[in-house]
Structure 1
């Protein structure tokens, strides 16, 4: 067999880790060709690979073709693969006994696809603690163990002192929780708590409107607020206080600015800063290396005159990026309603 000419590595391949490449390969091989390989893997390796397949998402055809070059000469006609919980489960069903498949998929997904616990982690700690304080300490301990550590800590601090201590003691003594216990707790939370969550939260409508206004272009936002000033001035003032605006970027800590800069589109950042007040401009340039700051200033100068509308759109996108980073807890935002810094 003659030597094959080396094929150029697709640029997208660099985004995939070794584990993701292995997951793509196993997904592409399918049940028939992949079975001998799956049988040689340990339980932990199967879990790791299956988990990676579950979160793989869409894989470009060029990546699949490159990874399968030695396995198939016909893969070039393949469009894309799509890794998901379902495709991972279908793949395992033809390879492993049903009980092992169920155990692996539950370990990846959680008993109810983790959606219950994801939702619970987004519930205000005050609301959640208000519900949990009427539950048995053992039940509270099970729930807190399933939450993110930061959210569990906030819920714990909202519980009455004696109850909080009792819950901690039970968490310390708790062994591995049986799946049927977790499922029972989940079912109770779904039927008794999540169903009534909307009434429990009583979210201030001004907060929802402030989020909508944050997403508006500046001209429409100013028109809406001006109209509200005439008809409901108190509401307009409250919405302004709740909004996170471009001017609020000036209150970011330098470390947060560095994260925003790293995550931003540099061309769009230059456009946003070109029309920014000097304090914000200097804050962002100061968060860059000397060379990067000089390049950014050169980019702004090279733009020449720009339309105010384009500048405002770039600034709105920068605000949206900053808010998203704050919502994910990756940066520290300053709450416009107080002088304290807090993570949103």
Structure 2
């Protein structure tokens, strides 16, 4: 879009401003995010200067846009990756992988940039340690923030600051540069084959499968895991039922639960909760009880995170016991949460 800056004021910039103004706000924002600062300034000035637009002017802008599209070529770099990305956003990663396997079985393998998102941090570090800080920065922004932080922590101290500086100043990355980076990654992954461990499965994934099954399946599955590994069973149960699930209780069920919780445990467990979440608990109490709980929480002052976690685990255990006894419910019929 460099012609926004160099073209005469009456044509390209004005037509571009008209096109942006007729887009939905979200679509326009995504488009503007791809422009350079000087282009944004020119386009912003022209958009602000627009007054009443005649129908003929809008028709001319649309016609010019269609002409430009007709004479342009569609970039096919990483086309399979783009289709995979769209499919993933539409139906999720598992279904997207299955669809791509049917559509392009010979090209369904994820690209190196997609593959690194599945690698453990300790497996990623050897792949990037000797790369230029700019390349490392591009790689880190492909990862979840927690994983990226662990990778960064294992890099040399004198490299960390430079990498983060480049992350903070990253702009548009040329597609051919990404292609070169993928080639380097593919070679590095091949060199370290057998050492890079894919992070697939785990207690959370097991819990999600059980939560999407019926209660009878849970009763069959959990004893098997418990017999095999009691600690693993505890981790799966922790993922199946979290403190956030308590927020799904209606007022009546929440009231039943709170009557089983000691005041000391409740005060600690509710520390650091957002106001909106606290309201869920307070709504199940009398006004006097809620006010008293607020006062106790303020008087308690700072509390160790470990103590908060312990108190919340105790609340979760009581909620599970009440749910299994049929005293409280997180849903209805056979599809109750636990």
Please classify the TM superposition score into its range, dividing by the shorter chain length: 0.3 to 0.5
Q: Provide the TM-score with structure 2 as the length reference.
A: 0.42
Bigger CA radius of gyration: 2
